[in-house]
Amino acid sequence: MIKLCVFDFDSTLMDGETIAFFGQAVGKMDEISAITKRAMAGELDFYESLKERVKFLKGVEVAKIEQIAHSLPFIKGAEQIIKYLKEKGILVAVFSGGFHIATDHAQSLLGFDINFANELHSKNGVLSGEVGGEMMFGDSKGKMLKRLKGLLGLDSKQVAAIGDGANDISMFKEAGTCVAFCANAVLKSAATHIIDIKDLTELKKIL
């Protein structure tokens, strides 16, 4: 029986990549998206690609980024699936290689229980182009899930993980039910289940 369900955020709960939306603010969406695409396909080191993308945001006002973060679109069925899981008594967590400025707001709207992400560094209300946090590396999600399982006394068969990109592989290794959602080929090969319909309520057939 599943007791913990972990979602990726970008392109899993949220319809798109957070940093690409931020890139629109500086006219660098295409450059950022190109790096993101390669990172999610497993072609680039996640840590290096994250730092490279965040550099493009140097000098942008935090208020502008906050405004964008608070208007991000969710994938169809996001609110419904989280409500469904919580009604079943399942703890719902979000692991994001993105940023708390987006995931914290999403938590207040969607009602998941906890989220882990990264922080965009700023000074005097302006982004520095630097980033830090608990989800900086390609294996960060797996390490965090291992810690959560230990804290909650769960084994892998009690855990489900849902994601779309290469940096979700490590958390799949810690879960018994692994769902590749509209995912890259590299993640599909590591999954126990594959959903290619862009509707999160499809998870009800699995969870």
- pLDDT higher than threshold 90 for residue 55: yes
Share of the chain above pLDDT 70, in %: 100
Q: How many domains does the chain have?
A: 1
What domain range includes position 19? 4-205
- pLDDT higher than threshold 90 for residue 72: yes
Domain of residue 188, CATH code: 3.40.50.1000
Rounded mean pLDDT of 140-157?
98
Answer for the pair 9, 116: CB distance below 8 angstroms, yes or no.
no
At residue 37, the pLDDT reads 86
At residue 81, the pLDDT reads 98
* Active-site annotation, residues: 8, 10
**pLDDT digit string (tens) for 28-51?**
888 898 998 888 888 889 999 999
Return phi, psi of residue 65, to 5°.
-65, -40
At residue 112, the pLDDT reads 98
- Measured CA to CA, the distance from residue 180 to residue 190 in angstroms comes to 8
User: Which pairing describes strands 4-8 and 114-123: parallel, antiparallel, or unpaired?
Assistant: unpaired
**pLDDT digit string (tens) for 85-128?**
999 999 999 999 999 999 999 999 999 999 999 999 999 999 99
Give the DSSP per-residue string, the chain.
---EEEEE-BTTTBSS-HHHHHHHTTT-HHHHHHHHHHHHTTSS-HHHHHHHHHHTTTT-BHHHHHHHHTTPPBPTTHHHHHHHHHHTT-EEEEEEEEEHHHHHHHHHHH--SEEEEEEEEEETTEEEEEEEES--STTHHHHHHHHHHHHHT--GGGEEEEE-SGGGHHHHTT-SEEEEES--HHHHTT-SEEE-SS-GGGGGGT-
pTM of the model: 0.94
Whole-angstrom CA distances from 162 to 68, 99, 130, 141, 190 are 25, 18, 28, 12, 11
